[in-house]
A = this chain, B = another copy of it.
Amino acid sequence: LEKKERVLSLKEKERVAWHEAGHAVAGWFLPHADPLLKVSIIPRGVAALGYAQVQPHEQALYTADQLNDRVCMTLAGRAAEEIVYGVVSSGARDDLERVTNYIYSQIVKFGMNPKIGPMSFRDPSETGNTEKVYSQTTAEMIDLEARRMVKEAYQRTLALLRDKREQLNAVSTRLMEREVISRDDMVELVGKRPFPERLTYEDIVQESPSTTTDADDAQAEAAPK
């Protein structure tokens, strides 16, 4: 059951650096994204090739704005790859699974989509059935809205990163040099975040011992299920 650690080729490492820089830079300039702690391109475990770690504080409520910014920050790794290479890779799969979950939750669980309206549906597995609780036509409408939302979010993310291309270059270069960069590096490279953090970095490092978890897990922990 053990599995040896991956060794990335240089080409792969570069792609990972651009990918993680994408997450970091987009998150930095999205007003509702969580505060960033660390970015790394040192592979961890069998799956993670790198990570952009945010503060894993608990949150009781998520506004639609926060969920949308989270979607964009999660898409930003793929978007950076597309901007830099033109060709995307399989490395964004975990990000896209999370994005798909956020988008569908907004529509199906949190009743945030105007077409479907303020309703919340259970999954088949919650009902002891195997069929969707709604009709195929409703399922189609949900899929259409999900596709529209994810494409809009992706366009927004591409536009943001193209606008911040220099910052993206700077973060990616630093990542290739040092493999791990901190929030201080980010401030040095791209300036302070242009809006107040929901929780400041100072609160975080005081309050709780900084747990260095995988960025994905950290996001997932705070994420609506």
Question: Which residues of chain B have C-beta atoms less than 8 A from A60's C-beta?
Answer: 6, 8, 12, 43, 49, 91
- Which A residues fall within an 8 A CB radius of B? 6, 8-9, 11-12, 15-16, 43, 49, 58-65, 67, 75, 78, 85, 87-93, 96-97, 99-100, 103, 109-112, 116-125, 127-132, 134-140, 142-143, 146-147, 150-151, 154, 198, 224
CB <8 Å contact, B65 and A87: yes
Measured between alpha carbons, how far is A61 from B89 in the docked complex, in Å? 6
Question: Which residues of chain B have C-beta atoms less than 8 A from A139's C-beta?
Answer: 134-137
Closest CB-CB distance, A33 to chain B, in whole Å? 15
CB <8 Å contact, B151 and A140: no
Closest CB-CB distance, A97 to chain B, in whole Å? 4
Nearest B residue to A112, CB-CB? B88
- Shortest 9 CB-CB distances between A and B: which pairs? A135-B139, A96-B120, A135-B140, A62-B90, A137-B140, A100-B119, A96-B111, A130-B130, A97-B120
Counting every copy of the chain, the complex holds 6
CB <8 Å contact, A96 and B110: yes
CB <8 Å contact, A92 and B110: yes
Question: Which residues of chain B have C-beta atoms less than 8 A from A116's C-beta?
Answer: 147
Closest CB-CB distance, A149 to chain B, in whole Å? 9
Instruction: From the candidates B15, B62, B96, B143, name the one contacting A61 in the complex (CB within 8 A).
Output: B15
CB <8 Å contact, A89 and B118: no
Question: Which residues of chain B have C-beta atoms less than 8 A from A117's C-beta?
Answer: 147, 150-151, 154
Q: Can you show 15 pairs from A to B with CB atoms below 8 A apart? A: A15-B61, A43-B60, A61-B89, A63-B87, A63-B88, A63-B90, A64-B88, A78-B118, A89-B110, A92-B110, A99-B118, A123-B127, A123-B129, A125-B127, A138-B140
CB <8 Å contact, B12 and A61: yes
Instruction: From the candidates B96, B111, B120, B135, name the one contacting A136 in the complex (CB within 8 A).
Output: B135
Measured between alpha carbons, how far is A137 from B140 in the docked complex, in Å? 6
Question: Which residues of chain B have C-beta atoms less than 8 A from A67's C-beta?
Answer: 90
Measured between alpha carbons, how far is A91 from B75 in the docked complex, in Å? 24
